[in-house]
Chains A and B, each alone.
Chain A
Amino acid sequence: MRIGVVTFPGTLDDRDAARAVRLAGGEPIPLWHADADLRAVDAVVLPGGFSYGDYLRAGAISRFAPVMGSIIAAANGGLPVLGICNGFQILCEAHLLPGSMIKNDQLTFVCREQVLSVENADTAWTRDYTAGQKITVPLKNQDGQFVADEHTLDELEGEGRVVVRYQGWNPNGSRRDIAGITNAAGNVVGLMPHPEHAVEVGYGPDGVQGPRTGTDGLKFFTSVLHSLVG
């Protein structure tokens, strides 16, 4: 399975996302922001970082990159797309997902191990989880406060489109503790925490097996592989 990983100027977690794809059993395919060619990939990851320095607004400039034109069209046709952190922000700017991210409520960058509950285990990116499952993945962001109008929030809740929710502590003031959402079709998912940093024993969060043994994020990447094979 060919999973595209997009690099924009200022993308930081592209190599990490590619590693996660590889560890899940997929083949990471680098995609370049200025190239509209999706290289026949089966799914796309928009990784974290500070594309274009987050200048103007996080994701606001990247949304107009040539590669995004192709991704928007393909996503509307059912291509699985995962946006992590800055990738989530880009998906919102591209109107593939509703809402927007503003500065964290405590006004500082926050980096921590975050407990999430998987609310929707039916999307292309979460089907290997069980609904209600608690997972721990790193979270690190500056502009991570998810906001939307009440109507949109009610709609997201009503349609079961909240994918992951913050547990225990809301790290950035996101409305209704929302950490990630999906589109109506379930092929496009965006979330602020970083599942690609919890995929390999030794380098992720602490887990029940010991320090840095947490690999709770890996199933985002195995999920899409399983979705693609049916």
Chain B
Amino acid sequence: MTTAPDRPFLDTVAHATATPEAPQPWADLGLKPDEYQRIRDILDRRPTAAELAMYSVMWSEHCSYKSSKIHLAQFGEKTTDAMREHLLVGIGENAGVVDIGDGWAVTFKVESHNHPSFVEPYQGAATGVGGIVRDIMAMGARPIAVMDQLRFGAIDHPDTPRVVHGIVSGVGGYGNSLGLPNIGGELVFDPSYQGNPLVNALCVGSMRHEDIHLANASGVGNKIVLFGARTGGDGIGGVSVLASETFDEHGKSAAKRPSVQVGDPFQEKVLIECCLELFAAKVVEGIQDLGGAGLSCATSELASAGDGGMHVDLDLVPLRDPSLRAEEILMSESQERMMAVVRPDLLDAFLAITEKWDVETAVLGEVTETGRLVIDFKGETVVDVPPRTVAHDGPVYHRPFARPAWQDALVADTVVAAGLARPGTPAELRATLLALLASPNLASKAWVTDQYDRYVQGNTKLAQPDDGGVVRVDEVTGLGVALSTDANGRYTKLDPYTGAQLALAESYRNVATTGARPLAVTDCLNFGSPEDPDAMWQLVEAVRGLADGCQVLGIPVTGGNVSLYNGTGEAGKIDSSIHPTPVVGVLGVLDDVARATNSGWTAPGLSVYLLGVTRAELDGSAWADVAHAHLGGVPPRVDLAAERTLAEILINASRDHLIDAAHDLSEGGLAQALVESSLRYGTGVRVSVDALCARDGITPFEALFSESTARAIVAVPRSEEVRFADLCGARGFPLLKLGVTADAPLSGADHHGDAPAPAVEVADLFTVPLAEARAASDATLPRYFG
């Protein structure tokens, strides 16, 4: 590290007390003057170098949530007792825990690793996966699946292949080596993410209720044990510097840009199995993973959440590089490390298990009754602080925020006001469908997902390209979970409050489409600089929208992550930040995953129905983007009451075996959904949109490409049509028969004879053979990255 001063001697607490006016590099470590003064007030002296390192990293935006904290509080305040019914552990721990019945619990969270992934795409993405997996392990769970939400700059930008190749192989290289199925995610290309790619990763784990572990250091005399990889010089200050400062090509940040952490998935896999054996042996009182801010975070958070103090000797930390100084050891973000609190009488049993797994283990110290976190190095005390002031009582900011000056003009620039030319003739509609299908954000994602293992563990029921990922938790009963994540940055740019609710609604709908009952929410809020009132307004609006939306849907936010400073432009300009991107993950439960609903039709002769109402809603749509590179207007209307009813219908229909397939309507509208459900298993469909246009008062173009929410298409066997219509009728939910699935075998089987090739046929308008659709969809990503 180049910014810490060279000291000929150790900056001990005694020395700091004796030299109150010694200059310190607090500004270079990202602290503001009042923050530095506050540290001095807390300690009643200047901090030592090690203390300064700890405070600076723990008070960074990434660790302290100082700009978002007051707004995130809504997630707790707006959670009712009814919403807590299934919640075993809420916000504040490493991840939330949800009761899914039969004594089983699941824990899940989505987190960002954005800035490191631009600097070093492979390691940034790999360690992003590694970090979230350790969060799930730290709750006592076995990780059972991962998902990744990736956003890149324009697909044809010269830097995009570098970032895409690195990040995709990083996610795969790490996740595949851990034996975790990758069951879905998101892939978006948009110029707003140029220079600021988003790498979010979600992990879900399962455990029995009694196996839940928490991160706290209690019980005086209990041992503080560090185990896993050795501590090295990688990722020092990564959190405070990389995650909290905008890159500045001309300025000072280059000097303090350290190496991104380097991952070792083999070590992590061993650590997973080792931890599970430790949990099973019941030799762990409290546990915390080492991620951002390394030992600074783990020691202060464990001590702060406990009921006493902690004393730790840094000389006992196994090092890769023996020349590291105290503050470097405390800030290092070396991966694949965990910290446990262990009762002295169980220590031998603990050590026997870590030895069996060849996991290096060091007893660093113990829980004390002093109420202080004391850290020694070279026989001297270098840290002596109240742990809460480091971990939980960091600064809180009321950042100014205001509706951006450009927002009104953006909203006024609707697709109608802009006079965007619309396809009118059948040939134009057909060409539009194919253009959307081949566009980067709607094309097949197989080039990415074929690089991920979706089979390992043998419990994957649904995965990309299905609406949600579904994995079995209990092999005896088939109990399992469904997961989906969604975010539409374009909608959110037009209206952050609504955009966050649209992300929630789509994720909720996707989970219900599989037949699962939605239970809980995790979120990863990717926004611009909190010091820019425009970006701050987007964040505030989105948090409010999400919290309000969760209340209406009756499912709580259980945890998540905020990533700010995602912008490289000039504050105040419309393009100063990325599109605000609130990634919302919804988890649902299925009593038996065997009955999960497919996203594609598997047989001919099924009736295809549209659920919901279609309005002329094309602002912010995929059509506006692909056909006209246009963004303006207002996003589709949110109707969470309708989403709830739709979900009830999809869940009941799945439970009662009334439907063969269901697929949600979102980007690209009805046309895209029909093609996707047909391509899934190679079965075609014949539909007419005449009745839909008449009922909803829209044109064929709007029927096919509008992105109205609370809609899904379902395939119903003839024998169940009456019961299905009754199910919808009883709830007063709009239902319209569009047509029937037609012909054609499952993928993989041969297609013989004179039967017409399978196709998507829209009566009186056009026919697209599935072979042509598949070619269009499959070609796009390989063309740029193959």
Contact = CB atoms under 8 A, between A and B. Distances in A.
Interface string B136-180: 000000000000000000000000000000000100110011110
Contact of A9 (B176, B357, B460, B681): B357
Given A9-B270, A53-B264, A111 B450 contact: yes
Contacts of B177: 10, 12, 50, 53-54
Contacts of A144: none
A19 B173 CA distance: 25
A119 B264 CA distance: 39
B80 interface: no
B176 to A, nearest CB: 6
Contact of A202 (B456, B461, B681): B461
For A110, A111, A115, the residue with the greatest tally of chain B CB atoms inside 10 Å of its CB is A111
Nearest to B266: A53
Contact of A203 (B265, B358, B461, B748): B461
B748 A136 contact: yes
Interface stretch (A93-101, A149-157, A204-212): A204-212
A55 B266 contact: yes
Interface in B433-469: 449-461
A194 B181 CA distance: 14
A76 B452 CA distance: 36
Contact of A109 (B270, B357, B451): B451
B269 interface: yes
A91 B456 CA distance: 21
A174 interface: no
Contacts of A52: 266
B179 A13 contact: yes
Contacts of A15: 457-458
For A9, A19, A194, the residue with the greatest tally of chain B CB atoms inside 10 Å of its CB is A9
Interface in A203-230: 203-204, 206, 208, 210-212
A206 B454 CA distance: 13
A161 interface: no
A206 B745 CA distance: 12
Interface residues of A, number: 38
Interface residues of B, number: 41
B746 interface: yes
B120 to A, nearest CB: 19
Given A108-B451, A208-B749, A203 B459 contact: yes
Contact of A113 (B172, B357, B456, B748): B748
A140 B266 contact: no
A145 interface: no
B783 to A, nearest CB: 15
Contacts of B269: 9-10, 12, 50
Contact of A194 (B266, B455, B681): B455
Given A13-B179, A197-B455, A211-B598, A109 B266 contact: no
Nearest to A201: B594
A182 interface: no
Nearest to A199: B458
A19 B458 CA distance: 9
B747 interface: yes
A64 to B, nearest CB: 14
Interface of B: 169, 172-173, 176-179, 264-267, 269-270, 356-358, 449-461, 472, 475, 593-594, 598, 600, 602, 681, 746-749
11 contacts: A9-B269, A9-B357, A12-B269, A52-B266, A109-B169, A109-B176, A109-B452, A111-B452, A202-B472, A202-B593, A211-B602
